[in-house]
């Protein structure tokens, strides 16, 4: 019976009741830690009566953790199309030290979003389906109040990695391949998808945070029903030029200026900022009890996110046949030469810099 009980964060939940079992993914624990911190940080200046909703509750663990560990939200609306799962979520809600009111629906996700619209919309939604969030983005966004927060999970990492390029083009309308900045590419494909779906109804889904793991991509957005702002986000959707020698550029170049070979194009891809540093600062401030969260938020605060890609120092070192230098020393050298450079949340061996590729490469030999 022990295996039926899961302890995570400050809650204890069960996965099975009778013949029913609710979906629980142990690999998502850290993403739930980050979710609780970011939604709580968002709520810090918003009062205490926010409404949270989730269309794919499973065991209900996300909403329950937000209620027990989080701040600001006082109404929690759970939904699952599976009746058995919903009963488990209810049971878990009733057996934890929750704060606020729990409401439960047994609807198909898109019907649930419509119900939220009819109820007057909510302040925060987390969309965490099996696979891609893509089919739900449009309706999910419409069920969030202006100024509200929404987060999405994409677990179709194979497709988003550009490895199956046909599937990628079909689902996300983007041309890509496996690149050195793969994790950021995955995040930006997901973000582009969210921005474009929202812009069709003149809503700006402003990206405020993203992180990527082997098993998932997570993106967070603030919803602003403003056509001009939606237009500005769309203007930042561009193509990147890439070359196998490691060169990446926002400029269109049919041939690589470094190796002379024909280049490839990746996109259309959102190339603007991903992190709302004020929100991330608040999230960092409340992350004393989660060292890994604090590290992630710290990296995001340092990240030079005007550049929409990173160089993987391991990849570049293998191309130019040298050993991988330490990231800190490379960043120091670039800074001393007058360029901006930082680490990135997306890759432990990645560096972002505004230095030209040739200059960046030369720091490997210094
Ligand atoms: Zn090249």
Compute the distance from residue 332 Cα to the ligand 1 centre, in Å.
25
Return mean pLDDT, the chain: 95
Q: What is the pLDDT of residues 51-70, one digit of tens each?
A: 999 999 999 999 999 999 99
Q: Are 65 and 32 in contact (CB under 8 A)?
A: yes
Mean pLDDT, rounded, for 324-343: 95
Residue 167, pLDDT > 50, answer yes
Compute the distance from residue 264 Cα to the ligand 1 centre, in Å.
10
Compute the distance from residue 51 Cα to the ligand 1 centre, in Å.
51
Compute the distance from residue 259 Cα to the ligand 1 centre, in Å.
4
**Where do the CATH 3.40.50.150 domains begin and end in the chain?**
2-302
Q: What is the pLDDT of residues 123-163, one digit of tens each?
A: 999 999 999 999 999 999 999 999 999 999 999 888 887 66
Mean pLDDT, rounded, for 306-326: 94
Q: Are 310 and 344 in contact (CB under 8 A)?
A: yes
Mean pLDDT, rounded, for 273-297: 97
Which pair of structure tokens corresponds to residue 279? 């929100």
pLDDT reported for residue 199: 97
pLDDT reported for residue 163: 67
Which residues, at least 6 apart from 200, have a Cβ–Cβ distance to it below 8 Å?
Answer: 138
Q: Is 8 helix (H, G, I), strand (E, B) or coil?
A: strand
Compute the distance from residue 64 Cα to the ligand 1 centre, in Å.
50
Q: What is the dihedral of CA 88, 94, 99, 100, to 10 degrees?
A: 80
Compute the distance from residue 240 Cα to the ligand 1 centre, in Å.
13
Rounded to whole angstroms, how far apart are CA atoms 74 and 70?
10
Mean pLDDT, rounded, for 187-202: 96
Q: Which residues have CB less than 5 Å away from ligand 1 (the ion)? A: 243, 245, 247, 256, 258-259
State the residue for tokens 């966004």.
141
Fold of 2-302: Rossmann fold (3.40.50)
Residue 1, pLDDT > 60, answer no
Of the candidates 262, 236, 261, 260, which has an alpha carbon nearest to the alpha carbon of residue 250?
A: 236
Which H/E stretch holds residue 66?
helix 61-69
| Confidence (pTM) | 0.96
**Where do the CATH 3.30.56.70 domains begin and end in the chain?**
311-362
Compute the distance from residue 311 Cα to the ligand 1 centre, in Å.
13
Residue 2, pLDDT > 70, answer no
The CATH number of domain 311-362, selected from 3.30.56.70, 2.30.30.230, 2.40.30.70, 3.40.190.10: 3.30.56.70
Residue 19, pLDDT > 90, answer no
CA 222 vs CA 60, 122, 138, 207, 273: distances in Å: 23, 12, 14, 7, 13
CB-based burial, 208-229: b 16+ in 10 Å, e otherwise: bbbbbeeebbbbbbbbbbeeeb
Q: Are 59 and 88 in contact (CB under 8 A)?
A: yes
φ, ψ of residue 205 to 5 degrees: the values are: -100, 85
Compute the distance from residue 248 Cα to the ligand 1 centre, in Å.
9
Rounded to whole angstroms, how far apart are CA atoms 89 and 179?
40
Mean pLDDT, rounded, for 169-189: 92
Q: Which range is least confidently modeled, 20-34, 42-56, 162-176, 316-330?
A: 162-176
Q: What is the pLDDT of residues 220-241, one digit of tens each?
A: 999 999 999 999 999 999 999 9
């Amino acid at each position: 019976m022990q295996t039926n009980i899961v302890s995570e964060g400050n809650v204890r939940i069960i996965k099975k009741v009778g013949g029913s079992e609710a979906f629980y993914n142990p690999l998502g624990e850290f993403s739930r830690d980050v979710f609780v911190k970011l939604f709580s940080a968002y709520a810090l200046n918003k009062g205490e009566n926010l409404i949270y909703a989730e269309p794919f509750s499973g065991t209900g663990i996300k909403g329950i953790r937000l209620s027990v560990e989080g701040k600001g939200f006082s109404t929690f609306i759970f939904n699952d199309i599976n009746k058995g799962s919903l009963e488990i979520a209810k049971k878990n809600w009733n057996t934890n030290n929750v704060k606020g009111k729990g409401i439960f629906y047994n609807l198909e996700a898109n019907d649930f979003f419509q119900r939220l619209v009819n109820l007057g919309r909510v302040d925060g939604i987390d969309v965490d389906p099996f696979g891609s969030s893509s089919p739900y983005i449009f309706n999910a966004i419409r069920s969030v109040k202006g100024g509200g927060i929404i987060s999405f999970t994409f677990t179709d990492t194979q497709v988003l990695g550009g490895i199956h390029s046909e599937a990628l083009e079909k689902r996300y309308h983007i041309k890509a391949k496996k690149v050195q900045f793969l994790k950021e590419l995955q995040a930006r494909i997901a973000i582009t998808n969210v921005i474009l779906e929202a812009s069709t109804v003149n809503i700006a889904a402003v990206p405020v945070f993203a992180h990527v793991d082997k098993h998932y991509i997570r993106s967070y957005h603030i919803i602003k029903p403003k056509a001009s702002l939606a237009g500005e986000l769309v203007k930042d959707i561009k193509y990147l030029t890439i070359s196998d020698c490691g060169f990446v550029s926002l400029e269109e170049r049919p041939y690589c200026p470094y190796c002379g070979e024909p280049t490839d194009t990746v996109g259309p891809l959102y190339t603007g900022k991903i992190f709302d540093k004020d929100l991330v600062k608040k999230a960092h401030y409340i992350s004393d009890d989660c060292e890994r969260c604090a590290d992630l938020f710290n990296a995001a605060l340092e990240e030079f996110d005007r550049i929409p890609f990173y160089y993987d120092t391991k990849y570049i070192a293998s191309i130019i046949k040298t050993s991988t230098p330490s990231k800190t020393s490379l960043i120091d050298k670039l800074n001393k030469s007058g360029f901006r450079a930082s680490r990135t949340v997306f890759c432990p061996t990645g560096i972002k810099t505004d230095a030209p590729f040739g200059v960046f490469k030369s720091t490997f030999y210094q």
